[in-house]
Amino acid sequence: MEENPERVTQLLLEASHGDQHALDAVLPIVYDELRRLARSYMRRERREHTLQTTALVHEAYLRLLGQNAKFANRGHFFAIAAKMMRRVLVDHAKHVGRAKRGGGAVKISLDEPAVFSKAPDMNLVALDEALARLEEQDPQRSKIVELRFFAGLSNEEAAQVLDISTATVQRQWAGARAWLYHELKRKE
């Protein structure tokens, strides 16, 4: 089913006001985009990763439903969905790490060649911890990383979700990538 941004936004607004039929109607519309997002996450995972793309989508969607989240628009929905997928993967990595007594940490590589081209694969748990530190220092930059890297939103879409200019997103995205690069290198 083809995604219509205006229709998705309308259904999400209706779902935010408790309309179960709207919530049921939105999943088939956004499912392919959620799978694309999940596939992009899974490409960053090691080959032997035990969590499948479909399971990631379903677990994230169930967590979204459990939150009774209020969605302002399509971009906001995908930002929250990306955050849920990140949480599922981090929880899974922590569980696997505990099961292997600290071994088997999930590694990912960041897709920004200008900043991360010389960086080795990074541990997902370490990235999550670095993002938590960034959020304490600069919540807006942390949110931009979630929207750009994890939700796969463009600069323009992230700007719309955060209600800031595209130029601000571009500047802060560059600064956040550099900060994360140095923070993760320091922790190696």
* pLDDT digit string, tens, across residues 71-109: 888 888 888 888 888 888 888 878 776 555 444 444 444
Let me know: does 46 contact 107? Beta carbons within 8 Å: yes
Let me know: does 122 contact 108? Beta carbons within 8 Å: yes
pLDDT at 110 over 70: no
Q: Which residue has the higher pLDDT, 95 or 177?
A: 177
pLDDT at position 48: 60
E-assigned strand segments in the chain: 107-108, 122-123
99 phi/psi in degrees, rounded to 5:
-65, -30
Of 57-66, 120-129, 140-149, 174-183, the least confident: 120-129
Nearest in space to 169 (alpha carbons), one of 179, 180, 155, 157:
155
pLDDT at position 141: 95
Let me know the angle formed at the C-alpha of 9 by 128 and 168, rounded to the nearest 5 degrees: 50
Tell me: the pLDDT tens digits for 33-81?
888 888 877 776 666 666 788 888 888 888 887 777 778 888 888 888 8
Q: Which residue has the higher pLDDT, 8 or 152?
A: 8
Task: List the structure tokens of 92.
Answer: 């899974």
Q: What is the mean pLDDT of the chain?
A: 78
Average pLDDT over residues 161-173: 94
| Whole-prediction pTM | 0.65
pLDDT at 113 over 60: no
Task: List the structure tokens of 109.
Answer: 């590589």
Please give the radius of gyration of the chain, using alpha carbons only, rounded to the nearest integer. 17
